[in-house]
Amino acid sequence: MNGLKRIAVVGASLAGLRSVEFIRRAKFDGELVLIGEEKHRPYDRPPLSKEVLRGEADEDRLALRRKSYEELCVELRLGQRAQSLDAGAGEVLLQSGEVVSYDGLVIATGGEVRALPNQPSLEGIHVLRTLDDALALRAALETKPRVAVIGAGFIGAEVAASARQLGLEVTMIEALETPLAQSLGTRLGRILQEVHERHGVKVLCGRRVERFGGECRAESVWLDDGSKVDCDLIVIGIGVSPSVSWLGGSGIEVEDGVRCDETLATNIPGVVAAGDVASWYNPLFEERMRVEHWTNAVEQARHAVSTLLAAPGEAKPFESVPMFWSDQFDIKIQGAGRPKPGDELTIVRRGPDEEKLIAIYSRAGRVVGAVALNQPPKLVQLRMLIGKRGGLDDALKIVES
């Protein structure tokens, strides 16, 4: 332990809560405060676009911690947005005017939804990031609207699938060539597009939104090819931006998130970052990255805490193989690694249809990514291989065994 007396964790979602828990597991017996913008206690976000929208889960089932918060001996500051940081003084200013002092800080503020250029403030336009967003969207879906989803990344595709499973008319609009093109590439994206289309989703790719129709309420979306999509409800799911505006003037370096070194330490001593907001150098892939997935938030929370509590010079690099998953209709998509558009892609089908396959991404013979459709055990093995810098031949042996 390095003599810290009071640690503040800013951000009360997955990475923030796990940081608090890991701090206590490390036998830190000083003061601990958890600051969160939302009024809710930390909850699980992945079900928001799936079970919550479909009415299969409520707030009680989303709790990230079932045990008592009292045993963590943590001061909760919920419903309190961090307004600014004075890193020199070791103080976080909250929206209420309260100042929270610290000598150790974990930044885990996550991300904020992106908006389209010139996006209007019309009734019927929704985003999905928080529990309150999900509950409002679920209530709107119960009126049986025609739904337009703008953005076919993971959130957009999951919302489209959930709305279609509710029996609604759904159109999904994507500016890129296929759904999930940035994450999985166009070959796999086309396969998933066909899955959505087989289930009745109308998918429009390579189209950009030009404007919205409606005076007080959204009634349509006009696209750049001149076509119009009539709708009663619009969900905008074009990704998130790291929540770093409150750090302006603090001295904390920001570069697509909070800039960290390979140990998750920032440029300010005694300050680390974890989760969606952390941009760090990953030695395993020899590149700087920021990862917006559940597993990464947990693993980074553990490592950021170890860095914060380490003696000088003893912090270790965070070498991680990012992992993600997504459920769309009856397909479980799981992926690992850091694939890029120029990587060599090898697809191995393990059944008569295209909904059971494994895609392997390799670069100069080294496997850098893998995606499995309905093949969970194989993905675990492939993730381990990527972590060992394994080759394509070894990956194929795993897939074919």
Per-residue pLDDT band at 353 (split at 50, 70, 90) = low
pLDDT at residue 398 in the model:
93
Q: Kind and range of the H or E element at 77?
A: strand 75-78
Backbone angles phi, psi at 181, to 5 degrees: -65, -40
Q: Is residue 323 part of a domain?
A: no
Q: What share of the chain is helix, strand, coil (3-state, %, to 5)?
A: 25, 30, 45
* CB atoms near residue 172 (< 10 Å): 28
- Using one digit for the tens of pLDDT, what is the confidence trace for 235-262? 999 999 999 999 999 999 999 999 999 9
> What's the domain range around 381?
330-400
Residue 389, burial from CB neighbour count under 10 angstroms (0-12, 13-18, 19+): exposed
- Would you say residue 11 has pLDDT above 90? yes
In the predicted structure, residue 342 carries a pLDDT above the cut 90: no
Give bridge partners of residue 75 from the DSSP assignment.
33
Asked if residue 325 belongs to a domain, the reply is no
Please indicate, yes or no, if residue 21 is contained in any of the structural domains. yes
pLDDT tens for 145-155 read 999 999 999 99
- Domain total for the chain? 3
Spatial distance between the Cα atoms of 256 and 240, rounded to a whole number of angstroms: 11
Same structural domain, 346 and 365: yes
| pLDDT computed for residue 341 by the predictor | 79
Same domain membership, residue 101 and residue 11: yes
Contact between 47 and 57 under an 8 Å Cβ cutoff? The reply is yes
Residue 265 shares a structural domain with residue 339: no
What does the pLDDT read at residue 350?
64
- Provide the CATH number for the domain around residue 373: 3.30.390.30
Residues 227 and 247 in one domain: no
Q: Residue 354 — very low, low, confident or very high, per pLDDT cuts 50/70/90?
A: low
Instruction: Reply yes or no on whether the pLDDT at 1 is more than 60.
Output: no
Kindly report the pTM of this predicted structure: 0.95
Q: Distance between CA atoms of 209 and 394, rounded to whole angstroms?
A: 44
Q: What distance lies between CA 95 and its chain's CA centroid?
A: 25
What is the helix (H) or strand (E) element at residue 204, kind and residue range?
Answer: strand 202-205
Residue 317 covered by a domain: no
The answer on 157 and 50 residing in a single domain is no
Residues 140 and 228 in one domain: yes
| Contact criterion met (CB below 8 Å) for 45 and 63 | no
User: What value does the mean pLDDT take over residues 358-375?
Assistant: 94
Region of 93 on the Ramachandran plot (φ > 0 left; ψ -120 to 50 alpha; else beta):
beta
CATH of the domain at 173: 3.50.50.60
Q: How far apart, in whole angstroms, are the C-alpha atoms of residue 9 and residue 196?
A: 40
Contacts of 395 by beta carbon, 8 Å cutoff, 6+ apart: 346, 360, 362, 367, 370, 382, 385
Question: What is the band of 386 on the pLDDT scale with cuts at 50, 70, 90?
Answer: very high
State how far the Cα of 300 lies from the Cα of 18, in Å rounded to an integer.
9
Domain end marker among 186, 218, 236: 236
Q: Are 172 and 229 in a shared domain?
A: yes
Q: What is the pLDDT of residues 178-223, one digit of tens each?
A: 999 988 999 999 999 999 999 999 999 999 999 999 999 999 999 9
Coil, strand or helix at 227: coil
Q: Does 59 score more than 90 pLDDT?
A: no
Domain final residue, candidates 236, 253, 278: 236
pLDDT at 73: 96
Of 219, 236, 253, the one marking the end of a domain is: 236
- Residue 318: inside a domain: no
- In sequence order, the β-bridge partners of residue 265 are 272
Residue 134 and residue 223 in one domain: yes
Higher per-residue pLDDT: 355 or 202 = 202
State mean pLDDT over 66-72. Answer: 93
φ and ψ at residue 373, rounded to 5 degrees:
-105, 115
Q: What is the mean pLDDT of residues 137-141?
A: 98
User: pLDDT class for 351, splitting at 50, 70, 90?
Assistant: low
What SS3 class is residue 272?
strand
Sorted by sequence, the CB contacts under 8 Å of residue 79 that are 6+ apart come out as 36, 37, 38, 39
Residue 373 lies in a domain: yes
DSSP code string of 299-337: HHHHHHHHHHHSPTT---------EEEEEETTEEEEEEE
* 217 and 150 fall within a common domain: yes
Could you give the CA distance from residue 376 to residue 172 in angstroms, rounded to a whole number?
27
Whether the pLDDT of residue 45 is over 80: the answer is: yes
State the average pLDDT for the chain: 95
Predicted confidence (pLDDT) at residue 58 exceeds the cutoff of 90: no
Does 124 reside within a domain?
yes
- How far CA 232 is from CA of 153, 202, 306, 316, in Å, comes to 22, 15, 49, 52
pLDDT reported for residue 401: 83
Are 304 and 343 found together in one domain? no
Q: What percentage of the chain exceeds 90 in pLDDT?
A: 91
Asked if 247 and 343 sit in the same domain, the reply is no
Average pLDDT over residues 123-141: 97
Same domain? For 123 and 100 the reply is: no
